[in-house]
Amino acid sequence: MLTTRAAVVEAPGAPFTVHEVTLDDLRPGEVLVRMVAAGLCHTDLGVQLGGIPFPLPGILGHEGAGVVTKVGSAVTRVAPGDRVLLTFTSCGRCANCRGGHPAYCATWVPSNLITGQRDDGSHTVHRDGRPIGAHFFGQSSFAQHAVADERSVVKVDPQAPLELLAPLGCSVQTGFGAVWNVLAPRPGSTLAVFGAGAVGLSAVMAAHLLPLAAIVAVDRVPHRLDLALELGATHAIDTETDDLAKALAGITGGRGLDHAVETTAVPGLLRAAVDALGARGSCAVIGAPPAGTEVSFEVQSLLTGKRILGVTLGDGEPETLIPQLVNLHREGRLPLDRMVRHYRLDELDAAAAAMHRGEVIKPVLRF
């Protein structure tokens, strides 16, 4: 048992407050990580506001980065002293895990989100002797230390700058995976990214590394659109001032988009993205509006071979994709410093507010 400090959300809509908590002893397949950094993702805020189910009081955070200090008896991936990035967990045994699609693991939702506990029903974290929600994405990294599943840690180079790379675990992996793994655009095709936040800008950076004819960024915050253009977008559309459908039609010469990536979580923009697709075009749905949200489509418009694909975490295999992204960063082809701003653990509310105001794209806690 180890005592550490963690940011706790007491109830839906409550702020993050730092408390002393006790971590459970490691199970055979778990590792203890001393956190060096942890990114704040919009999904953490979705849970904090009660739109995504998770037991509260609880500890969020799913873009951890740190150093392994102890490993369970069955752990083989990492050893004490290894630097790791933390990502989602998965069982490793079901058909989708065996097929290289762990983001669609049979136990993904209970293991990463809704139960807040281990698969066997035990808890990784207690406060004042009572269990609290944790094990979020197999980690709950808004804490100085975390008990993490072995399958949610990926070993990285000892020199890797963890305070910049933390967002690889979710946002960056999600945007890159949606483009590279799911849409896999052909050379010369067109792609529009709806939402120029951390996920959308990652999709823009992923698209920029491919020989596409057009990469369109759509947002309503002018400085985010400017950054998208610097990171490789060829066109920017401001939904506050531009006619979205007309602008997209103009860019594609009236043919419609080959690909769209929807990250705003705004139902009307998902509809607009699908409407803007050309024949055989595909739209990756990433943005997560509150549970129960519905969107309608004009059915005949879909009959031209359009595809709408929901995507979790970029449908990647983290032990393969994350080291590739670390290499891209080392080569200067993944300029994460353009979207990261650093905060302390007790500044999470300020970080969330800056994100809501659109000022900061990717807050990262530094421990």
Ligand X SMILES: NC(=O)c1ccc[n+]([C@@H]2O[C@H](COP(=O)([O-])OP(=O)(O)OC[C@H]3O[C@@H](n4cnc5c(N)ncnc54)[C@H](O)[C@@H]3O)[C@@H](O)[C@H]2O)c1
**Contact set with Zn ion (CB under 5 A):** 41, 43, 90-91, 94, 97, 105, 170
For ligand X, which stretch binds (CB under 6 A), given 11-19, 78-86, 198-206, 341-349?
Answer: 198-206
CA atoms of 27 and 8, how far apart (whole Å): 23
Binding mask 253-292 for ligand X (x = CB under 6 A): ----------xxxx--x----------------xxx----
DSSP designation for 133: B
Question: CB of 156: closest distance to ligand X in angstroms?
Answer: 20
Site for ligand X in 301-340 (CB under 6 A): 311-313
CB of 138 to ligand X, least distance (A): 14
Spatial neighbors of 74 by CB under 8 A, at least 6 apart, are: 28, 29, 150
Token match 């401001």: residue?
Answer: 238
In angstroms, the CA 265 to CA 73 distance is 42
Residue of 39, 61, 64, 197 that binds ligand X (CB under 6 A): 197
State the Cα–Cα distance between residues 214 and 228, nearest whole angstrom: 13
Nearer to ligand X, 26 or 178 (CB): 178
Longest dimension (CA), the chain: 64
For residue 102, list its beta bridge partners.
none
Q: Which of residues 218-237 bind ligand X (CB under 6 A)?
A: 219-221, 224
Tell me the closest approach of the beta carbon of residue 130 to ligand X, in angstroms.
29
Give yes or no for residue 87 binding ligand X (CB under 6 A).
no
Q: Which is nearer to ligand X, 147 or 269 (CB)?
A: 269
Distance CA 267, CA 294 (A): 7
Q: Which two tokens stand for residue 263?
A: 């990250």
- Report the partner that residue 91 touches, choosing among Zn ion, ligand X, none (CB closer than 5 to 8 A by kind): Zn ion
The interface partner of residue 311, options being ligand X, Zn ion, none and the CB cut-off 5 to 8 Å by kind, is ligand X
Single residue of 170, 227, 283, 308 touching ligand X by CB under 6 A: 170
Give 97's contacts (C-beta < 8 A, 6+ positions apart). Answer: 90, 91, 105, 106
CB distance 231 to 162 below 8 Å: no
SS3 at position 318: helix
Size, binding site for ligand X by CB under 6 A: 31
DSSP state of 45: H
What is the CB neighbour count within 10 angstroms for residue 175?
30
Among 43, 111, 189, 282, binds ligand X (CB under 6 A): 43
- The footprint of ligand X (CB under 6 A) covers 41-43, 46, 170-171, 174, 195-200, 219-221, 224, 239, 263-266, 269, 286-288, 311-313, 358, 361
